[in-house]
Amino acid sequence: MTKLLLAILVAFMPFAGNAQAESGPSQLPCRDPTSVLREAVFTLDIGTAHLHDGKDCLAEPGFSCDWSVTLRRTEEWGVHQRFLLVEIDADHVSGTGQWESVFVYRCQGDMYVSVFSNRFLYGAKVQLGANSDFWLTTGVWRRNDPTCCPSVEQRRHYVWNNGQRRFVAAESSEKPLNVRK
């Protein structure tokens, strides 16, 4: 019964949006953040991941691995490397589906502070800009799209807004994908 309920929830998640914000470590030094991230705790929509060497396996008591969680990418960029991109993959090994969580931090003093987070069904492509911007490409599901296959690809350009102390979407474009239904 629990697995059936979980499968139904995963099937409808792309349409529901984020129920709660995901978060990464709050104490992240600007100096050598990757070694800290490989052993960090991330609060994800699917559960709390306690990474060991960049990996964790989330399971309900009495079950084997349900979600394989992996630190996929960490990259510093921008003027004086003041921004940090973190990508976490969560693969539903006992069912279907895969989520990618994207976190962006800003170096403030000697610690990184979270300034952006979101999660994406079946992943996202993040392309970093030369300064304080990035592009995010994701699938968009329309009403009649099967969960496997979004019919639209969205590309958003985010830029750092120093007054608001966060990244804001500067432009967005969509294009149809060639999908067989």
Tell me the pLDDT tens digit for each residue of 119-151: 999 999 999 998 899 999 999 999 999 988 999
| Higher-pLDDT residue of 8, 56 | 56
Element (H, E) at 161: strand 152-161
Q: Token pair 């009403």 is at which residue?
A: 143
Mean pLDDT calculated for residue range 13-37: 78
Using an 8 Å Cβ cutoff, are 60 and 71 in contact?
Answer: no
Domain ranges of the chain: 22-176
* Strands laid side by side in the 166-176 sheet: 124-128, 133-140, 152-161, 166-176
Q: How many whole angstroms separate alpha carbon 136 and alpha carbon 159? A: 11
Residue 150 in 3-state DSSP? coil
pTM, 2 dp? 0.85
pLDDT tens sequence across 31-63:
999 999 999 999 999 999 999 999 999 998 888
Residues 154/138, Cβ–Cβ less than 8 Å: yes
Q: Which helix (H) or strand (E) holds 155?
A: strand 152-161
